[in-house]
Amino acid sequence: MIGVLILTHGATGEHMLATARQILGSTAMHAAALGVEPDADPQAVVERARALAQQLDDGSGVLILTDMYGATPGNVAAALLADGRVEGVAGLSLPMLVRVLSGRNGGLDAAVKRALSGGAEGVLHMNEDCCRDAKR
């Protein structure tokens, strides 16, 4: 099963993973979250993230989900990327995480596509896209 490593600012990833567990129930997660604190040593975070990624990789690869490209969690993720073994997606959202965790059949490429579609399709202007009839 593809491992999922969540790298975020502070405890955001831990809370999102807990919420995903609540939504999905007892589904095997095979996932971990690592929060980056403002005063953290970036190299120490890279080493901790590398160790977690190795623990999560059962041979199927690891998908790293991070909250923001260009910030420290994203930079840590970038340090771990290896095409076809460790893939990364920035812009973490709950719809993205739930979609990835609920369907990890197929390869790492399929998991990346699910992450991207979950993130994109989870963004709606509620007034226009889905709730117009509910307001009447």
State the Cα angle at 23 between 66 and 98, rounded to 5°: 35
Ordered structural domains, the chain, with CATH? 3-135 (3.40.50.510)
What's the confidence (pLDDT) of residue 21?
92
Q: What share of the chain is helix, strand, coil (3-state, %, to 5)?
A: 50, 20, 35
Mean pLDDT across the stretch 107-128? 92
Per-residue pLDDT of 105-115, as tens digits, reads 789 999 999 99
* 4-49 residue pLDDT tens: 999 999 999 999 999 999 999 866 678 999 999 999 999 999 999 9
Q: What is the pTM of this model?
A: 0.92
pLDDT at 28: 67
Q: Each residue of 66-97: pLDDT tens digit?
A: 999 999 999 999 999 999 999 999 999 999 99
89 bridge partner residues: 65
**Radius of gyration from C-alpha coordinates of the chain:** 15
The C-alpha torsion from 107 through 110 and 114 to 117, rounded to 10°, is 160
Query: How far is CA 62 from its chain centroid?
Result: 10
